[in-house]
Chain A
Amino acid sequence: MQREELLLQIQEIFRDVLDDEEIVLEPATTADDVEGWDSLTHIQLIVAIEKHFKIKFTSKEILSWKNVGELVDCLASKLA
């Protein structure tokens, strides 16, 4: 799957979990840019992404992403 496609799907998950249809994700987006994306909702987002793509991240991966781009890279490497 293309990165752009993954990003769109993740964006859909974000909109769903954070209940905000206006969220637009870019690779450089960080938690500071999205209202409601904090340490608590982060876990809900991860669980939703893992379920959607039927994969499992490691703790270290989850705690080391600096932005959405790194999340997408990590996800792409799992799906490859």
Chain B
Amino acid sequence: MGFNSLPFLLFFVAVFTLYWFPLREKTKAQNVLILLASWFFYGYASLKMLPLLIGATVAYYGLGIWIRNCRSEKQASWISALGVVLGVGLLLYFKYFNFFIESFASLFGVMGLQTNWRTFDIILPLGLSFVTFKLISYCVEIRRGKIEPETDFIAFAAYVAFFPCLLSGPIDRPQFLGQLHKTRAFDYDTAAEGIRQFLWGLAKKVLIADRCVYVIDPVWENIGEASGSSLLMAALLYTFQMYTDFSGYSDMAIGTGKLLGFRVTRNFNYPFFSTNVAEYWRRWHMSLTSWLTDYVFMPLNVRFRDWGKMGMILAIIINMVLVGLWHGANWTFGVFGLYHGLLFVPLILSGAFAKRHKLKDGWMGLPKLSDLGGMILTFLLVTIGLVIFRAESVGQAWQFLSGMAHLETLKGFWLFFLHPDFRTKTILIVALMAIEWWNRSVEFPLVPMKDYHWTARYAIYLGLACLLIMLWGKNLTFLYIDF
């Protein structure tokens, strides 16, 4: 049940009512409810994989306590390493096993050797990539002495399976467990903010992401016959689709968390206002990139620290390739990561990498021209990356990009805007960017609404509701459910 479906609404209303009425201020009972609701939510999506989720939870609960009870430092290192290996092993098995078999078989094929290796019927358990990252960081944080192992199994299991974030993140760190031990008093302002954030996420998903699909998919199905300008349009729209879909999902997850009194970690910080790619990655899928920064980039960077800038380049390239491959077993994801890693090289060499750029308002509160140039360049570089990301093979990505790269492309491009449907999309996207720009200092653009007069608030709700009703298409699943 996706956040944009009726079953989820019914499910959530039931959980919310139980949570805040009979169980109000009974923290332990609320945690039991969260856990049962989360396991039900997971079982509803994929009953077969529920035992795996429960098994992994039990295993890591035990590992955490084991690390603390170790007699020697060395033993503790081994046990936490076991936790990391187990998590990575789960990912390798479910996500990459068939890929390795196919790759080796084709490698032997190239060498003229026949193999009769068969791929296995492995289904990727939903949310596995997100859950294993939570579990790995739990072991590492205990080992680094940053947290104590959790002794309350219910709280630990509720953290691992917390339903708003279970299927596609955001990836909360184990420090989240602190919130499960505190008494959660119902706070009207937080709950209202949660509803607004959910609504904002839903609007992005329904009004933009779901409407872009119908333009993008047909182009990808016929790359050979599509004109350069259609390819360019499909590529640009895909960047907006990816953003509105995934950030929309994240807002809905965070909003749901707030309705239950939790602060879920932020996942997006207006990424299209980044003036370079390094900045972009600090603002896009932040819970994944900060995870990899802490557990991959930093340890590598520490190890390579005496090699100066070369060490940093090496660390960032390894890190970005892993960001890519985390999405799945396909060379396209590896190339996507490598491409982004290489985009960091000039930034590291010039020193722009470490600098924080503060955006200032220019004429009439609009972005300054120099910043706007950086934003557009970054957006285009990201768009090229997402073509590689979306393609089924590296060859297909190449076909797409080379089909786009001629002068004719720009000539025909403007014709799209003669079409009313494109005009609606363009207006919605431009409106989104403008609303985001003027609200870029707050978590999501509807935050300032709390101070509006009630008439203005309800006018906004009514306006959004009308737009949603008018433009609601088919209920489409979220893109990141596949990862």
Contact = CB atoms under 8 A, between A and B. Distances in A.
Interface in B302-324: 302-303, 305-306, 312
Contacts of A62: 302
A9 interface: no
Contacts, number: 36
Interface centre among A36, A39, A43, A60 (most CB of B within 10 A): A43
Contact of A47 (B293, B294, B305, B353): B305
B302 A64 contact: no
Interface residues of A, number: 16
Contact of A64 (B146, B305, B354, B356): B146
B354 A66 contact: no
B301 interface: yes
Given A40-B354, A66-B146, A59 B302 contact: yes
Contacts of B182: none
A63 B298 contact: yes
Nearest to A70: B145
A4 B303 CA distance: 29
Interface in B334-373: 353-354, 356
Interface string B134-176: 0000000000111000000000000000000000000000000
A29 interface: no
Contact of A40 (B294, B299, B306, B353): B353
Contacts of B145: 64, 66
Interface residues of B, number: 17
A36 B146 contact: no
A50 to B, nearest CB: 8
Interface in A37-54: 38-44, 46-47
Looking at chain B's contact residues, is the secondary structure mostly helix, strand, loop, or mixed? helix
A43 B301 contact: yes
A24 to B, nearest CB: 20
Interface centre among A40, A42, A59, A66 (most CB of B within 10 A): A40
Contacts of B299: 59, 63
What 6 pairs between A and B have smallest CB-CB spacing? A40-B354, A64-B144, A59-B302, A62-B302, A43-B301, A39-B293
Interface of A: 36, 38-44, 46-47, 59-60, 62-64, 66
10 contacts: A38-B354, A40-B354, A41-B354, A43-B302, A43-B305, A46-B305, A59-B299, A63-B144, A64-B145, A66-B146
Given A36-B356, A40-B353, 18 more contacts: A39-B294, A39-B297, A39-B298, A40-B301, A40-B354, A41-B354, A43-B312, A44-B354, A47-B305, A59-B299, A59-B302, A59-B303, A62-B302, A63-B144, A63-B298, A63-B302, A64-B145, A64-B146
